Amino acid sequence: MERMHTAVPGNSRQVVSRQTGPHEDLFAEVAKHARHRWARPIADYNRQAFAAAEAWLAGRPQPLILDSGCGTGDSTRLLAARHPTHSVIGIDRSADRLSRQRGGSPENCLLLRADLVDFWRLARAAGWRPERHYLLYPNPEPKPKHLKRRFHAHPVFPDLVALGGHFESRSNWRIYLEELALALEFHGRPAEIVPVPESEPPLTLFERKYRASGQPLWCLRTTEGGGASA
C-alpha cells in the first residue's frame, strides 16, 4: 500500500481506474473500522523499530514530524532540513528503498524500516502526538475491488487519525484524496484538496517524475487550526 510503481522519469504512467468518483462502499468500510480496534498481532521487527524510535526521541524535546511511507527517505531529509527545530522520522517497509541513500541525513532525521500498519498502532498506544504527519504518494490501489487496500478503508485508519497533528497527503489521483477527505471528515477532521504549486520544489522522487510527465498533482491537508503545508 505504500508506494505505486512508476515508469521512467518524464514518462510516468497516469492512474487508470473504472472509478469516476469515491467508491460506493467507502463509508461502510470506514464506519465498520471505526467501531472496532484492530487487534492483529504486531510483528517483532516492528516492535524493535518502534523501540529504536522511542530511544532516539528520548533525549529530543523537539516537536515530532512523521513521514509515513518515506521510500528512499528523500522527503524525510528535506522535511528535516526545512524544520531544523523538529525531530523528523521517516518510516518505510522496504529495506531496499531505504538503502538507496543519496547524501547524508540531517542530525534531526531518523529513517526506520517498519510496516506502517504496525508502527501507527504502536505510536497510538504510546501516546505519540506528532505536530505534522505526511503520507506522500501512497499506492492508490485504483482497481475498485482493491478499495480495502487503501489506507482510508483499512482497519488501521482509526489509529492513523488518532495520532492527530496537521496531516498532509499528496497524490496524482484526485479520487484517492477525495476518499481520504471523506474518511477524515467521518472522524471529525475536515480537510481541503488543493493543487500542488508548480513553483514548489518537489518533496519526493515520485512528485518530480509526475510533474515532469505533465500530470496534475494534488495535496490534501487538514484544516483545523490552520496548519500550513510543508
| CATH number for the domain harbouring residue 192 | 3.40.50.150
Per-residue pLDDT of 134-184, as tens digits, reads 999 999 999 999 999 999 999 999 999 999 999 999 999 999 999 999 999
Residue 20 belongs to some domain of the structure:
no
Q: Please calculate the CA angle 224-172-124 and round it to the nearest 5 degrees.
A: 45
3-class DSSP state of 69: coil
Range from 95-99, 111-115, 173-177 carrying the lowest mean pLDDT: 95-99
Q: pLDDT band at 55, cuts 50/70/90? A: very high
Decide: residue 65, CB within 10 A, 0-12 exposed, 13-18 middle, 19+ buried: buried
| Single-letter code of the amino acid located at 117 | V
Q: Please calculate the CA angle 32-122-162 and round it to the nearest 5 degrees.
A: 50
Residue 136 belongs to some domain of the structure:
yes
Residue 6 belongs to some domain of the structure:
no
3-class DSSP state of 205: helix
Residue 55 belongs to some domain of the structure:
yes
Residue 2 belongs to some domain of the structure:
no
* Cell matching residue 75: 522527503
Residue 79 pLDDT exceeds 60: yes
Residue 192 belongs to some domain of the structure:
yes
Distance in angstroms (rounded) separating the CA atoms of residues 38 and 54: 22
Pairing of strands 132-136, 166-171: parallel
Pairing of strands 166-171, 218-222: antiparallel
Distance in angstroms (rounded) separating the CA atoms of residues 40 and 221: 29
Domain count, the chain: 1
Residue 13 belongs to some domain of the structure:
no
Residue 143 belongs to some domain of the structure:
yes
Bridge partners for 90 per DSSP:
67, 111
In the predicted model, what is the mean pLDDT of residues 81-101? 93
3-class DSSP state of 171: strand
Segments forming the whole domain that contains residue 94? 26-226
